[in-house]
Amino acid sequence: MSQAQHRAEQAQRLLNDPLLQEARRAVVQALQTEVLSLPLGERERREAAVAMLKGAEQFFRVFELVIDGYTLERAELTNEAQIQARHHAIEERMRNG
């Protein structure tokens, strides 16, 4: 198994890990609760909480994109391996044919 394949599988396990999913929900929910609970008069605190919420959401989107990149790389490697296997099979038939 190549390092890229290993990293793709590892990334997928991370994304599907229940602990990570729970942490993501907890962070986003806590920040949403903070935003909604602050009075309108506390503008600076509200803006800071909204910025943290947007930052957390952006972090998780980027994290997913990185993992999707590894997943795509794994698919490309698998496709390349299948093409090579077909090529070798054709060469073998031509030699034996």
- What pLDDT digit, counting tens, does each position of 51-86 carry? 999 998 888 888 777 777 776 676 777 777 778 888
Per-residue pLDDT at 5 exceeds 90: no
Residue 22 structural domain? 3-96
Give me the chain's average pLDDT, please. Answer: 83
Q: What is the DSSP string of 53-74?
A: HHHHHHHHHHHHHHHHHHHHHH
**Rounded to two decimals, what is the model's pTM?**
0.59
Domain count across the chain: 1
Q: Strands (DSSP E) along the chain, which ranges?
A: none
